[in-house]
Amino acid sequence: MPTKLPKLPNILRGKDYIETKDWTVKEIELALKTAADLKKMFKQGKPHRYLPDKTIFLFFFDKSTRTRNSFEAGATQLGAHAHFIAAETSQVAHGESPKDMGIILSSYGHAIAIRHDLVPGEGNKYMREVAKWANVPVLNMQCDVDHPFQTLADLMTIREEFGKNLRGLKIAVSWAYAPSYAKPMSVPQGLITLMPRFGLDVVLAHPPEYKLMDSELEYAKRAAKENGTKFEIVDNMEDAFKDADIVYPKSWGIESLFHKPEEALKLSKKYKHWICDEKKMKLTKKHSIYMHCLPADRGYEVTDEVIDGPHSRVFPEAENRLHTCKSVMALTM
């Protein structure tokens, strides 16, 4: 006879998860606790089918490795089915409205998850329009503003390393050079808006052209003030890394140039020295950890010595993507 599962609270059932800002600290704490419990069950090989016979639609406007696989594997482990849809293979490519898509898919299943992250001003707006018409939770698998599943996994990883009380610890969120493509701004924005709410002092570093969205900067300042933490912006990696407990250097694009990727990549070449290497890691605390949402541009954003070295936590961080996405699905669906 199957073991009876511990009952999950119902307070988040049906709730959208589009930005971490939409959830209270108490609600995020519940998601983190549930993620830790599900991780323990997964490690012990205990079945945890909280969502038998449920369906989640995964709607992708962009490519994915960790997000798609954590959702598909996570849904299976919860007893649900994840339905992958590439936007270009759907009628959205022919102009079907978010209203129609939201109404129809929510009549077929129990949640709609969307990745729409490459164009500033589009993804978040699109998700909220789907959510307005859907009668099931809409989950953000990354938009132009936030990547709430990634930053939840980041917070989980930081707590596993340093404990629940993070007050007084410093996280450096820094731009880094990458030649591959103009990456979304959502990860650094998600970090600066979430981490000050949970006790971390945040230092943001970037070249002058790589400013984040005004709305997110204003929220980060406000969150730091309300929670007695610090938020500051510097113009070089070295100042950000000095005495940092956590470093999170990654590339992102220029808001005004997302429609001109070649111009943005050409401009970025001025800043090839923005790389996370052993010399910069020596500026951090001895116990510091290196984090990245992956994929990292090795040899550009970070050296192999750092990403494969003792400071790196990128693989436990990536693994926690599974447990946090399962937590949010289990609590909302």
Q: Write the DSSP string, 58-115.
A: EEESS--SHHHHHHHHHHHHTT-EEEEEEGGGSGGGGT--HHHHHHHHHHHSSEEEEE
Q: For residue 13, tell me if it sits in a domain.
A: no
Distances (CA, A) of 233 to 171, 187, 229, 230, 269: 12, 16, 14, 10, 22
287 falls within a domain: yes
Position 92: which residue type?
V
Residues 181 and 269 in one domain: yes
Query: Per residue of the chain (333 residues), what is the pLDDT tens digit?
Result: 456 899 999 999 999 999 999 999 999 999 999 999 999 999 999 999 999 999 999 999 998 999 999 999 999 999 999 999 998 888 988 999 999 999 999 999 999 999 999 899 999 999 999 999 999 999 999 999 999 999 999 999 999 999 999 999 999 999 999 998 889 999 999 999 999 999 999 999 999 999 999 999 999 999 999 999 999 999 999 999 999 999 999 999 999 998 898 898 899 999 999 999 999 999 999 999 999 999 999 999 999 999 999 999 999 999 999 999 999 999 999
In terms of domains, do 242 and 279 share one?
yes
Reading the block at residue 87, the tokens are: 């936007």
The 10s digit of each residue's pLDDT in 207-247 is 999 999 999 999 999 999 999 999 999 999 999 999 999 99
Is residue 6 in some structural domain?
Answer: no
User: Domain for residue 174, yes or no?
Assistant: yes
Number of Cβ within a 10 Å radius of residue 290: 24
* Closest C-alpha among 187, 59, 56, 184 to residue 114: 59
**Together in a domain, 237 and 303:** yes
- How far apart, in Å, are the Cα atoms of 6 and each of 34, 50, 53, 76? 11, 10, 19, 19
What is the C-alpha to C-alpha distance for residues 139 and 215, in angstroms, rounded to an integer? 21
Q: Are residues 160 and 309 in the same domain?
A: yes
Query: What span, in angstroms and rounded, lies between the C-alpha atoms of 12 and 175?
Result: 34
β-bridge pairing 231-234 and 81-86:
unpaired
Burial of 26 (0-12, 13-18, 19+ CB in 10 A): exposed
Angle, in degrees to the nearest 10, between helices 25-43 and 148-162: 70
H/E segment holding residue 123: helix 123-133
12 domain-assigned: no
∠ CA 295-298-301, rounded to 5°: 85
Which tokens go with 84?
């992958």
Per-residue pLDDT at 87: 87
Question: Tell me, what CATH number does 100's domain have?
Answer: 3.40.50.1370
Are 237 and 247 within one domain?
Answer: yes
Question: Residue 2 has what pLDDT?
Answer: 59
10 located within any domain: no
Cα–Cα distance for residue pair 124/115, rounded to 1 Å:
9
Q: Is the dihedral of CA 131, 136, 142, 146 positive or negative?
A: positive
The rounded distance, in Å, linking the Cα atoms of 96 and 81 is 24
Q: How far separated are the first and last CA of the chain, in Å rounded?
A: 25
78: containing domain: 20-146+322-332
> Edge-to-edge strand order for the sheet containing 81-86?
81-86, 55-60, 111-116, 138-143
Identify whether residues 298 and 169 lie together within a single domain.
yes
15 assigned to some structural domain: no
In this structure, is residue 220 part of a structural domain? yes
